[in-house]
Amino acid sequence: MPPVSGPPGTPAPNGRPLGRFAIMAVVNRTPDSFFDRGATFGFDAALAAVDRAVAEGADIVDIGGVKAGPGDEVDVTEELRRVVDVVTAVRERHPQVVISVDTWRAEVGQAVAEAGADLLNDTWGGVDPALAEVAAAHRIGLVCAHAGGLRPRTRPHRVGYDDVVADVIAHVTAEAERAVALGVPPEGVLIDPAHDFGKNTRHSLEITRRLGELVATGWPVLVAVSNKDFIGETLGQPVERRGVGTTAVLGVSAWLGARVFRVHDVAGARHALDAVAALAPEPAAP
C-alpha cells in the first residue's frame, strides 16, 4: 500500500505517497447496504462509483461484497462473484489507485490479491487467521481491526469492557505484530478501532475521544465512522441525515492523528480534511 506521508510507520503498496490524510472510498457490491441500499450492487454501477470516487480525490477504494450487518447468507462463492471482477476492472481502469477489499475470508483474500488488490480490510478482527497469511504471501497490506471477538455479521449484545480503548489497543497491536512476523510489509499495516463493531455507542464515543492513544502506538490509524449508528444515536438522526455528524467525527479524528478515513462522501471528506490540514500543526518528523 502506498505510504501515507509523515511519521511514524506509514502504510504503502504501490509506492505512491498518499499524503497526510488519505481517503478510502466505500464501494459496496451488495444489494442490502445499510447506507446506499444497493445503489452500487450492479457491476457497471460499482465501476461508475469507483470512477466518481477517484475523480473526487479518493486515494483508496474499498470494495465489499458482504453487508456488515445481519442479512441474507453470502457464501464464499457469491462473495467472490461480487468482488473479483470489480477488482480486476478497477486495476485496469485506475492503475495508480490503491484497491482494498473488505473481507474476513482467506479464500476471498487470495482471489482478490491475484486480481490486483493492494490491501485486505479485515474488519472482523482476525476471525480467519489465514487472511494475514494471504497478505504476507502476496506482500500486500492488511487492516488489523477490533470487533471484540464478535462473529462476522452479528451485533453486540450487552457488550462490556473494563477499558474499551485498552482492549482495542491490545488486540490491534497484537494482530499488527503477528502480521509483520508472518511477512506483511510493516509499511502496509493499518490499525482500525472499528467503531460500532462489538461496541455500543458509549464505547465508540470513548474510542473517538481517546483516539490519540491508538495513534501513540506508532501504527497508522484508520477510522471507519461514516454514517454509523453511534453518530445517529448520539444526534438522534436516521442514516440519511448523519452527514454533518460524520464530518465532525472525521475532523476530530484527523486532529487527533488518524491517517486514513473510510467514507461514503469522498468530496465532503476531502474538504473537511483539507481544512484540518490547514489548521493543525504539521506532525513532528520521525
Annotated active-site residue in 228, 242, 259, 270: 228
262 is catalytic: yes
Report the C-alpha gap between 214 and 48 in whole angstroms: 35
Matching residue, cell 482476525: 126
Annotated active-site residue in 105, 199, 242, 262: 262
The helix/strand count (H/E) of the chain reads as 10, 8
DSSP code of residue 221: B
CA 36, distance to chain mean position in Å, is 17
228 is catalytic: yes
Report the C-alpha gap between 165 and 149 in whole angstroms: 15
Which alpha helices (H) appear in the chain, and where do they start and end? 43-55, 76-93, 106-115, 130-138, 164-182, 201-209, 211-215, 229-235, 243-255, 266-279
Active site residues: 228, 262
